[in-house]
Amino acid sequence: MKTVYDFTVKDRKGENVSLSEYAGKVLLIVNTATGCGFTPHYEPLEAMYKDLRDKGLEILDFPSNQFAGQAPGSDDEIHEFCTLKFGTEFPQFAKIDVNGDTADPLFAYLAGERPFEGFGKGVKNAMLNKFAKMNNKQFGDKTYIGWNFTKFLVDREGRVVARFEPTVDMKVVREAVEAIL
């Protein structure tokens, strides 16, 4: 059975990193952007990382510019922004595509394990849904991720156990992480 440990990704310096290096850890894998309305999620993500990394949590950050061009900088510029503005210490990888023919295989796998089920109810979520559909029309049946800051929770065996859209309250995400630590 395939797990996230079967994938290799690029770090922000372009070096290959086997996700098997994280075997035995609880992972929260996130596609991010520096110019998104959800960019403030970096703050609770970093707080969670500081509080829970000694218990086995790793947060893996994958910037993507596929959503209205909200991550336009280089890998170094994105990293500098995140460390200076939010004090992030969790691993940040090279900017990737998460949708379409050029989607990173990791994100195609994650979305295959936990497909998109919507952004939830409410006016704000309906607006995001409309905007995301317009943006993601270009990816057709290879639209794996609806928007920035989609989070995938992976257990210590490398299995994808939950998906959280960016509209899910970060307290709910943290509770789910704590429950499997």
Catalytic residues: 36
Q: Specify the pairing of strand 57-63 against strand 26-32.
A: parallel
Rounded Cα–Cα distance for residues 117 and 122 (Å) = 15
Residue type, 7: F
SS (HEC) of the chain: CCCHHHCEEEECCCCEEEHHHHCCCEEEEEEECCCCCCHHHHHHHHHHHHHHHHHCEEEEEEECCCCCCCCCCCHHHHHHHHHHHHCCCCCEECCCCCCCCCCCHHHHHHHHHCCCCCCCCCHHHHHHHHHHHHHHHHHHHHCCCCCCCCEEEECCCCCEEEEECCCCCHHHHHHHHHHHC
